[in-house]
Structure 1
Amino acid sequence: MDVQDGPSRSKGASALPDLYLISTDDTVYEQDILRAPGTIKPWLSYVEHKLQHGSLLEQAFVLERACSELPRSYKLWKLYLELRVKHLARKNPARHASEFLKVNSLFERALILLNKMPKIWEMYLSFLTKQPLVTTTRRTFDRALRALPITQHNRIWLLYRPFANAASGLTAIKVWRRYMQIHPEDAEDYIELLIEMRQYTEAVQKYIEILNNLRFKSKLGKSHFQLWSEMVDLLVSKAKEVKTGDDFGIDVEKIIRSGIERFADQRGKLWVGLATYYITKGHFERARDIFEEGITTVMTVRDFTMVFDSYAEFEESIIGSLMETAALRSEKGKVDEDADFDLDIRMMRFEQLMDRRPFLVNDVLLRQNPNNIVEWEKRVGLWGDNKEEVVRTYTNAIAAVQPKKAVGKFHDLWTKYAKFYEQGGDLLNARVIMEKAVKVPFKSVAELAEMWCEWAEMELRNENFDKSVEIMAKATQAPKRSTVDYFDETLSPQQRVHKSWKLWSFYVDLVESVGTLDETRKVYERIFELRIATPQTVVNYANLLEENKYFEESFKIYERGLDLFSYPVAFELWNLYLTKAMDRKIGIERLRDLFEQAVEGCPPKFAKVLYLMYGSLEEERGLARHAMRIYERATRAVSDEDRFEMFNFYITKSASNFGLTSTRPIYERAIAALPDKEARDMCLKFADMERRLGEIDRARAIYGHASQFCDPRVSPGFWSKWEAFEVQHGNEDTFKEMLRIKRSVQAQYNTDVNFIASQALARSQQRAEGVTTAAGTDEIDATTEDTERADAMAALERVARAPSGFVPASTGPEGGNRAAPPAPPAAAVNPDAIDIGLDDEEE
């Protein structure tokens, strides 16, 4: 379709149109145009009509005339250009190049007057990018950028960037350079393009530019370190292609070393990267220097492992390459002594590197913390029998470690240093080291005390006993009255060491072993003067005097110890003191006085043992009446946990000394003093005793008193025993009274919330332990009232069937019926009735 040779030459409606392109339906529109040739509305109506009813040629004919008549109309030109572009949308630009050129010319005509319209430029540029006209398209993009204001350049760059990427080569790079001036935030895309174009030097330069720009923010969310890592990876991997030097502003080693200083957690990787860079460049000796520097400066084992493994791999590859070369020479019969010597040197260097590994790892750990005592000791062990290096290591360790920051036992390092000379037979140097060690401001007094003890032990090992005692005497030197606080951290350990119990303990043991008794006693007395004695000191001093037959003085030591210590320590001292005093058979009055002192102010939980000893003393050497009085005091003095056991012991002793009847007031007081559970057990024992004495009424009264503590559902054993008692010794009336009391107690407990909770807990414990009832069955539910009624009814029936004056006997092995005693009056439930009844009988 060529419409430019005909209508394009006509100027306005006055020109003679091609009549065959104008139909009778167009007459109306032609007349409107003739009436208002300079108005756009008639032309738009005419174009709309043709777009709906006309052919492509007719549409182009009308639009050509309209654009020629109104060359500044954006709407008409847009419609015309869209029509022509749409017509060529599916055409091959190479096969229909002429048609595409005509449309290009049409765009150029439109842009003569519409060069400020960005949409026209966008249509034109989009149309050009489909044609194989790279230079024309690039120049048109440049014209568009020059013609439009900068605020509209983004619309052009949206098309220009994809075109530049497609064009590739130098064109793309130049376009992106211009784009970077306006949009530096897209530098990452530019770097990616440069890497694709193998322009590594410029890519690195761009990386440096954005890394130096503190305002740059990655649109991909990459951190400053990530960008820096990408640049380093590019430098290392493309070492040969990247041009370095002052001319290009790229110093690879300086860049990587700056990262080593800044990024502490990536040092291993960066050292390997720097060495790899020089390996890639072929500078093997420089790479080896970098590896050496890396393994001697990294601060973590992880980084060291990374650098060392890369170093070893590098050396292995070099050796492997030289061995292959040597093998080829030997096949050809050539001999190169220099190459063989170089191979031997490298093999030796590699073996030395592997031998150094434990020392290098130790160096890393010591660089992390030079105050790590364990690592210094490992360092000494690595040198083995190399005495010169061992001494140098000890010296370096002592110089490097700060005593207050030492991790581990610093005194052990000094001790082992001295032992090293001692084992070598050089005792003089060992003493010099010890003298220096005791002047070190250790972290704690305990370490300094340990150091003095080690020095003394060294002299003992060499049988210098007097020297050892002299050392300990020097260590414990102190003013007559020392006001120094052992725990005052503001004072140095040397100022506080004379109050170290460990030091004095060693000293007194030493003097006791190699000195006289008087010397030992002086040391003990000095310990007491400094008020650092411990319970063990008191016991040891007392035992020493006792072994040497100074019994009275031994007792005085115990008394001095009791003045120093309160309970619970005083209890142990009293226990020993009283035991030894009783063994010495001293006067009974004196012993009584000692026991009275011991029990005075004694806490309840420690009173039991002392009272038992006191009572035992009175039973053996005094009066039984006094012993009973002591046991009675004990029942009030002991703790709640021991009171029940103490009452039992008191009752047993009273029964054995004065008969069963003497225990009644004890039982009564025990029942009043003990808690409900223990009072119930005491009532059962009391009732059993009265039954054995034949006091049935008293026993029944005790059962009635105890019933108030016993919920039938929680304590079925108590009621079973009472029932058995009534069956054996009671009658129908007493049995009914027992059942009445049982129901009354159960009703009382049913209204108490606390007892209900305790009942539930007791039932769960009974099920867990498999507790059986008195009848021997595990399946009876004590909480079921119907079952209780059934048991009661069965008992009543047995009583009804029995002959007059008899009650059924127990179901035990004896069987049969037993004559019932005359029925006593029913026992009162009121606990006060027990005391009244018992008092009456005793009267």
Structure 2
Amino acid sequence: MARTMYPSSEDLIHEKLVKRNPNCLQSWWSYLISKSHSPFNERLAIYERALKAHPDSYMLWEAYLGERLDLVKDLDFTYPQYETLNDAFERSLVTMHQMPTIWLMYLENLTAQKLITRTHETFDRAFSALHVTQHGRIWEVCLEYDPVSHAEDFVEILLKYGRWKEAAENLATVLSGEFQSRKGKSVYSLWMDLLDVLVHHADEVSGLDVDGIIRKGIGKFMYEVSVFWTSLADYYMRKDMVEKARDVYEEGMVKVVTMRDFNVIFDVYSRFDVAKRMELDDDEEEEELMKRRPVLANSVLLRQNPHNVEQWHHRVKLFEGDAEKQILTYTEAVSTVDPMKAVGESPHTLFVALAKLYESHNELVDARAVLEKAVQVNYKDVDHMACVWCEWAEMEVRHENFKGALEMMRSATAAPWPEAPWIEPEQVHMELYKSLRLWSFYVDLEKSVGTLEATRDAYERILELRIATPLIILNYGKLLEENDYFEEAFKVYERGVNMFKYPQVKDIWVTYLTRFVEIYGKTKVERARELFDNVVLSDETKRAMEIYKEAMRKVADEKKLEMYEMYIVRAAELFGVKETREIFKEAVESSGVSEDDVTMMCIMFAEMERSVGEIDRARGIYRYASQFEDSQVVWEKWHELETEHSNEDTYRDMLSVKQTVSGSGLRPVKKSRSGSPFETLPTSPVKKMRTM
């Protein structure tokens, strides 16, 4: 065995002393000093024996833990020696829990190991175990390690002991960054706590930049900022800086973006103002503040959405009687509002209203300049652009500049140059020449102050662009009639009835027929009859047929036979008997018609073909109908047909079919619902009819 394993003579002396009196701390300490140059493993056993005898010895624990810390200082945190060290600290705290130095050593050790959760829990245990007078030493380490997580606790302690300035300073520092309360408080709630300290202890927090702190809070929130502004004003009032407080109220009212914040600031400001005016016995200033309220409130709404056209118009009304302010407001509006983002009214109304305002003060040059700028704006809708041109022309007419108004409208209705460098392809300027509003105004203007030829050219251009309405057609026809161009008026009516469908075309037809009869009377009867025939066969008739078709899809099955009979009769009246074949075919093939009704429909179908001399068609339909049950009526009708129109071969065919269906004992087949009923026969009568 190695020599180092045997105790030395000096060790034996110390061993006798500690065994003789283990409760003597000095003996253990002398023993450890004598082994100061020995490896830690040799001293470890002595430390453990000494601490077992003296577990409440601060000197032993501090030395022991200090040596363990030195032992691991060069090791990586993943080594197991760190866990042994942490266990030693935990054992020490059983008796050393009131010793801040032990806690600090343990906390610094955990911090170095980056055991976040365990470190937070140990900080909490330290605060709970130590007397409050010793918390300061722990707080220094705590805030250095994690200044945010425990800031609330620290601030609460500062507030409890009335250290207002330090509390405000620490809370402001924490709130200047990203912060999440460990106690579930919102950031806004913590700001309210800070405002309470700053305002109600204004003298105690002197030296802090209160104005800057509160304004930083205002910058963090868009809504619910009224309390910040009123608190800042209250702070200055407590510092006897009345004018500065008034400036803060004024600034707050022109910067908030919600009516709620505005109302809060205005109400507080008005009470403040009333109190100060009562001291000065001055009521005029109070009335002045109330007069300003509508304008200030309107400013808030415009800050919410500067593209709200309706609010700009309302703002102008607030300055009624002050033309200069109205002009300045409209000028600001037209330079602020983006036509593509405008809400409420159309943005062109701002230009028009500004031009009319200049016009009302006989400033026509400025009015024309405004409208000239307005027609260059790219609006969301081409109708807005057309309205500006019409308003401009109306202004010129009001001042009897008829020639200028006509030239302006001719220019506006002209098709744009494809190479125009100032017009983007997507701009409304490219579609302006197709604006019905613009053309309607133009033709009215030409009729009033222009020539007949120019008016006719304008109407013709409308028809070429295919933007005419029934009213345009009627007005054009009336214009021609008033100037005795009757045939040309009728040609316009003809173009109108070809352009529109029912019911839009109804008024054109009524006017056309009425005027034709009034003008020509009985001199052109054949032409009048032809016109009336065209009306009967017009879209109204087609619409009636569409209604019948829709009815066939909607009526109950038991009513379909009756409805088909009405449909066929009406179609025969309008289009002739032969045109009902498709309706018969649809009825026979319809899945909603009962078998008995199909038999009756086949008989009607065959009789129709027989009436127009189509005997083979009728014979094919009877052949198909004979396949159904209860077909006795079919055989009687078929026999009647063959008796009157058959030859020996066709009569023999009928007998052959009858023998096949009934004489041979075969049951008649029921109507197939899966496809065309005519496909059940070797030769479909419908297909046969199509080939004839």
The two structures have a TM-score, normalised by structure 1, of 0.54
1:287 to 245, 252, 277: 245
**Which residue type is aligned with residue 589 of structure 2?**
D
Deviation digits for residues 164-220 of structure 1 (CA, Å, limit 9, x no counterpart):
5x334xx543552354345545541323322222222223333455466x7x87573
CA separation in 2, counterparts of 1:480 and 1:358? 46
What is residue 136 of structure 2 aligned with on the other side? 173
CA separation in 2, counterparts of 1:721 and 1:416? 86
CA separation in 1, counterparts of 2:180 and 2:191? 14
Q: Do the aligned residues in 2 keep the contact of 1:684 with 1:703 (CA within 8 Å)?
A: yes
**Which residue type is aligned with residue 437 of structure 1?**
L
What is residue 363 of structure 2 aligned with on the other side? 429
**Which residue type is aligned with residue 459 of structure 2?**
Y
Q: Do the aligned residues in 2 keep the contact of 1:469 with 1:507 (CA within 8 Å)?
A: no
Q: Is residue 64 from structure 1 mapped to residue 40 from structure 2 by the alignment?
A: no
Deviation digits for residues 1-44 of structure 1 (CA, Å, limit 9, x no counterpart):
xxxxxxxxxxxxxxxxxxxxxxxxxxxxxxxxxxx97899x999
What is residue 116 of structure 2 aligned with on the other side? none
Q: Do the aligned residues in 2 keep the contact of 1:703 with 1:722 (CA within 8 Å)?
A: no
2:351 to 395, 402, 414: 414
Q: Do the aligned residues in 2 keep the contact of 1:478 with 1:498 (CA within 8 Å)?
A: yes
What is residue 541 of structure 1 aligned with on the other side? 476
Q: Is residue 141 from structure 1 mapped to residue 100 from structure 2 by the alignment?
A: yes
What is residue 233 of structure 1 aligned with on the other side? 195
3-state SS of 1:439 partner = helix
**Which residue type is aligned with residue 415 of structure 1?**
V
What is residue 609 of structure 1 aligned with on the other side? 538
Task: Please provide the CA RMSD for this pair.
Answer: 6.2
What is residue 309 of structure 2 aligned with on the other side? 373
Q: Is residue 500 from structure 1 mapped to residue 459 from structure 2 by the alignment?
A: no
Shift of 1:294: 0.5
Q: Do the aligned residues in 2 keep the contact of 1:705 with 1:830 (CA within 8 Å)?
A: no
Q: Is residue 520 from structure 1 mapped to residue 455 from structure 2 by the alignment?
A: yes
Deviation digits for residues 421-468 of structure 1 (CA, Å, limit 9, x no counterpart):
66x6x5x335741453143223334323212322444566x5x6x534
1:194 to 158, 165, 182: 158
3-state SS of 2:23 partner = helix
**Which residue type is aligned with residue 744 of structure 1?**
P
Deviation digits for residues 551-593 of structure 1 (CA, Å, limit 9, x no counterpart):
3323444677799x69999988996899589856897998999
Shift of 1:377: 0.9
What is residue 80 of structure 1 aligned with on the other side? 53
What is residue 299 of structure 1 aligned with on the other side? 257
2:411 to 477, 481, 487: 477
Q: Is residue 244 from structure 1 mapped to residue 206 from structure 2 by the alignment?
A: yes
**Which residue type is aligned with residue 293 of structure 2?**
R
Distance 1:398 1:666, change over 3 A: closer
Q: Do the aligned residues in 2 keep the contact of 1:476 with 1:504 (CA within 8 Å)?
A: no
Shift of 1:289: 1.4
Q: Do the aligned residues in 2 keep the contact of 1:191 with 1:206 (CA within 8 Å)?
A: yes
Q: Do the aligned residues in 1 keep the contact of 2:236 with 2:244 (CA within 8 Å)?
A: yes
Shift of 1:254: 1.4
Q: Do the aligned residues in 2 keep the contact of 1:452 with 1:471 (CA within 8 Å)?
A: no
CA separation in 2, counterparts of 1:181 and 1:149? 12
Distance 1:534 1:66, change over 3 A: closer
3-state SS of 1:151 partner = helix
CA separation in 2, counterparts of 1:653 and 1:179? 100
3-state SS of 1:476 partner = helix
What is residue 771 of structure 1 aligned with on the other side? none
Shift of 1:540: 3.4
What is residue 623 of structure 1 aligned with on the other side? none
What is residue 353 of structure 1 aligned with on the other side? 289
CA separation in 2, counterparts of 1:386 and 1:480? 40
3-state SS of 2:668 partner = helix
CA separation in 2, counterparts of 1:490 and 1:373? 27
Shift of 1:359: 1.1
CA separation in 2, counterparts of 1:414 and 1:741? 93
Q: Which runs of 5+ in 2 are unaligned?
A: 1-10, 33-45, 69-84, 112-118, 553-563, 612-616, 641-657
What is residue 824 of structure 1 aligned with on the other side? none
Instruction: State the identity as a percent.
Output: 29
The two structures have a TM-score, normalised by structure 2, of 0.63
Q: Is residue 275 from structure 1 mapped to residue 233 from structure 2 by the alignment?
A: yes
**Which residue type is aligned with residue 584 of structure 2?**
I
Shift of 1:360: 0.7
Distance 1:62 1:414, change over 3 A: same
Distance 1:570 1:181, change over 3 A: closer
Deviation digits for residues 780-830 of structure 1 (CA, Å, limit 9, x no counterpart):
xxxxxxxxxxxxxxxxxxxxxxxxxxxxxxxxxxxxxxxxxxxxxxxx999
Report matched runs for 1:528-607 at 5 Å. Answer: 537-557=472-492
Deviation digits for residues 607-644 of structure 1 (CA, Å, limit 9, x no counterpart):
9527979xxxxxxxxxxxxxxxxxxxx99x99977997
CA separation in 2, counterparts of 1:739 and 1:555? 70
CA separation in 2, counterparts of 1:675 and 1:534? 44
Shift of 1:525: 4.4
Shift of 1:742: 13
What is residue 134 of structure 1 aligned with on the other side? none
CA separation in 2, counterparts of 1:483 and 1:559? 33
CA separation in 1, counterparts of 2:406 and 2:196? 69
1:161 to 127, 141, 161: 127
**Which residue type is aligned with residue 648 of structure 1?**
V
